[in-house]
A and B are shown apart, each in its own frame.
Chain A
Amino acid sequence: MTVLLAFDLLLAASIVGLAAATLLMRDAFAMIVAFIVFGMLMALGWARLVAPDVALAEVAIGAGLSGALLLRTLAHLRGGSLSAQGGASVSAPANGATQGVNALLAGLATCALGLAYLGAPQNVPGLEAHVADAMPESGVTHPVTAVLLNFRAYDTLMEVVVLLAAVIVVWQVERGLAETPAPALGTVYQGFARVALPVAVIAGGYLLWIGAEAPGGAFQAGAVLGAVAVLGLLSRHVRPAPAHRPLARGAFVVGTAVFALVALGVAGAGRVAFEYPPAQAKTLILLIEAMVTISIAATLAALFHGRAPVAVSREETDR
């Protein structure tokens, strides 16, 4: 097992080293790529810590979609294209006051984490025993899903609301972003898309369904389906138009709405909100997760697009 110990030490050292290297880089593009690789290393770390749920979320969101979102943002900052040099300089000279405030806030967050760690009771069993006791009432067999969608469903509802709030803000603010430029995605991409897109759709549905008994669930499935939508946007197979707004709004809201309606319905039936009747718990959880998956996928795609769909002029469409 000494080899495995060496592996763990090497992995831990490279995670910390890459984090430091990412912060010290001057080039924004290099930072983004390093951050993507950092996500992969983190996922391997979570896998070694026997936390496959976190590893799955990390690869889906950290290594997958965050990279695409960050690249898109950088392209906007550089005036519409990653390679264009005419846009505003991204690496503006760092302002001393801003750096000071950032350092202060980061320091406070670190202190708070340290205090929370030191203040936590040491060497006592966690909540695993309580979760294990309550599993038969949860309707699912995977403890993480039972916690997220049943025991602490209120927190999860609030997480879905956060995504909804994010997309509302993005749609409100007109930042003068250029329409998605027409990419020159040729035959190589077409071949990739023909294989990858159907597999990704199936994988998304699979992750949603498997969430009841194994790592998976709405957030991971939503991220995979959101990636499908991002590929559609990039290749302009999907062109957001004003006519899509009502459909998109419905997709953004459906997860939060169904989640809240289920809670209200359960509360109306003489129980505490989110205290699902054990017989219907699995159905309700899968219903909520399916709707939340739609919302997450639509929201991530809309965040990638970066603005409310607007009418585009004829020549821009034909470009």
Chain B
Amino acid sequence: MKRAFPILAVLTAVLLSYALYQALEVAPTEATMGDVQRIFYYHVPSAWTAFLLFLTNFVASVVYLIRRNTKADIVALVSAEVGVVFCTVVLVTGPIWARPVWGIWWTWDLRLTLTLVLWLIYVSYLMLRRFSSSGQTPLMAAVLAVFGALDVPLVYFSIWYFRTQHPSPVIGGGGSLDPRMGRVLLINWAAFLCFAVLVCWSRYRVERLQREVEETQALEGLLESRGAR
């Protein structure tokens, strides 16, 4: 297990550079958008990874609520945090792509809005974890994660209704993907998934270490106060 981490790190680095080469050189240039369309190979895999991490957060939170297992709590925290990072990437690259293609930075499109709302929900989740007092954090956070997951379909439908009433420039959708593009997309997704696993793993170890240090500190405080008397 000790060697698995460096192996994964090397694999991720290789995959990421290969995916970058594929995205910039191998993938065909899109007919109407030109080279700018290559943002797609970073934007979409990041979005999928973020959604997958949020799903992981939900599953881990439910496991925590049932079993009260510390590991599940750490997994929930880590996946939410890394998910927010990937979601931020999506929200930053999205407008950079939209500007040259549609001439606008932002539009209240279904997918964009859904991503933004998810980002807001999970940032509030991380805020709660930061602000609540130590002993109750995992439980409160797990409950909030369940509420956030309940909210997602409602957010989806509300934005969908909203869109049907306030039509805006039709974006993407329809049209089939060139199979070569699809292949490059999948390679990029695999690379980013590996990267996400790597980051989560490191963050998981840091969190474990942090909890141990904090516990020991509390313990030393207690021992000292007893020993002093």
Do A and B come together as binding partners? Answer: no
Q: What is the interface of chain B, defined by CB distance below 8 A to chain A?
A: none
